Homo-oligomer: A and B are copies of this chain.
Amino acid sequence: MANPQNPSAEDSLIARYFRPLATDPGAFGLVDDAAILSSSGEDIVVTTDAVVEGVHYLAADPPDTIARKALRVNLSDLAAKGAVPAGFVLTLALRSREDAWLRPFADALGEDARSFGCPLLGGDTVSTPGPQMISITAFGRVPRGRMVGRTGARPGDLILVTGTIGDAALGLDVLTGGAVAAALASDPAVRDFLVSRYRVPQPRNALAQAVSDHANAAMDVSDGLAGDLTKLCAASGVSATVGVATMPLSAAAAGLIARKVVGIETLLAGGDDYEVLCTVPPAQSEVLIAAGQAAGLAVTAIGTIVPGHERPRFLNGQGQELTLKRLSYSHF
């Protein structure tokens, strides 16, 4: 009983900041401690991802971007599973209840909840003496038996990825004052672009239906493309060959590679991309790429699923295999 103050303070915090986000009837306006997720016999896809201050975001990050990232990393999972967002629950571990932090946090969370059609259903707000943490469990709906898993990749499938790879890792380097920050000292627009890619992922929910219709296997790229593709291949019992020259890069990332500030390996192992990685029978790849174009989103073929159980091979333009010292980010 660390802090037995005003017994209604927790409720009034919830009412003040979060009740406006609870627009779904199943949320009961957050007056209950449980919510209802209705179903007409579809499967409910459940995903949960937490972000921790100092680990997944920086203490100095603006609270609105922290809110968006916390929700979007979960929306990204739903997109990769081919699911339509249905709602989320929020656990917020706070050190303080400063309005200057909570107001922009809640407002941005509400904006994203509305624009992605993913209302707040419930949650828990607790105090912590340590770093703040936001844990979100998000729900989506798919027709019964139609979630796109990790186990369905088949030899011959093309490997497709949305957007561009590696920007977020470069953005983190900018924020932490690394080599990228130094190289871009006189280029604030590029710095800002990379930082925004780190702070505010762009989940690819617009592509969920096409992923559901065409992909044999899919996941979102959150810990680094190399490591995540390795996981997908392991789950499917296959291997892969990836052409690094075809990797979709932003102009910012391509420029830094050309100047040898970073190597492609750094981008392949960098985390926080939140792009969709999927494998598709070749005959269907054009349809998926076209669906991306219709949504204003690049979808790029980067390689092929091959038989075998060895780790995916990443080949440069000369067909030589890259040695990746690190595949992805790991917490432990």
CB distance from A203 to the nearest CB of B (A): 13
Q: Does A44 contact B (CB under 8 A)?
A: yes
Beyond A1-B271, A37-B46, A48-B89, whether A9 also contacts B330 by CB under 8 A is yes
A79 to B130, CA, bound (A): 32
| B residues less than 8 Å from A52 (CB atoms) | 93, 126-128
A145 to B28, CA, bound (A): 13
- Across the interface, A34 reaches (CB within 8 A) one of B38, B46, B55, B327, namely B46
The interface size of chain A toward B, counting residues with CB under 8 Å, comes to: 88
| B residues less than 8 Å from A38 (CB atoms) | 43-44, 144
| B residues less than 8 Å from A6 (CB atoms) | 330, 332
A169 to B125, CA, bound (A): 21
| B residues less than 8 Å from A47 (CB atoms) | 33-35, 122
CB distance from A142 to the nearest CB of B (A): 8
| B residues less than 8 Å from A54 (CB atoms) | 2, 129
Beyond A36-B147, A126-B50, A126-B56, whether A332 also contacts B5 by CB under 8 A is yes
A328 to B5, CA, bound (A): 9
Q: Does A202 contact B (CB under 8 A)?
A: no
Check if B331 sits within 8 Å of A3, measured CB to CB.
yes
A125 to B55, CA, bound (A): 12
Check if B39 sits within 8 Å of A81, measured CB to CB.
no
- Smallest CB gap from A11: residue in B: B231
Interface centre among A133, A235, A330 (most CB of B within 10 A): A330
25 A-B residue pairings within 8 Å (CB atoms): A3-B330, A5-B330, A7-B227, A7-B327, A7-B328, A10-B330, A31-B235, A32-B81, A35-B47, A36-B45, A37-B46, A38-B43, A39-B39, A39-B41, A41-B41, A44-B44, A46-B122, A47-B122, A50-B124, A55-B126, A56-B126, A89-B137, A93-B133, A127-B332, A129-B130
Residues of chain A having any CB pair with chain B under 8 Å? 1-11, 13, 26, 28, 31-52, 54-56, 77-78, 81, 83, 89-91, 93-94, 97, 121-131, 133, 135, 137, 139, 144, 147, 149-151, 169, 172, 219-220, 222-224, 227, 231, 235, 269, 271, 326-332
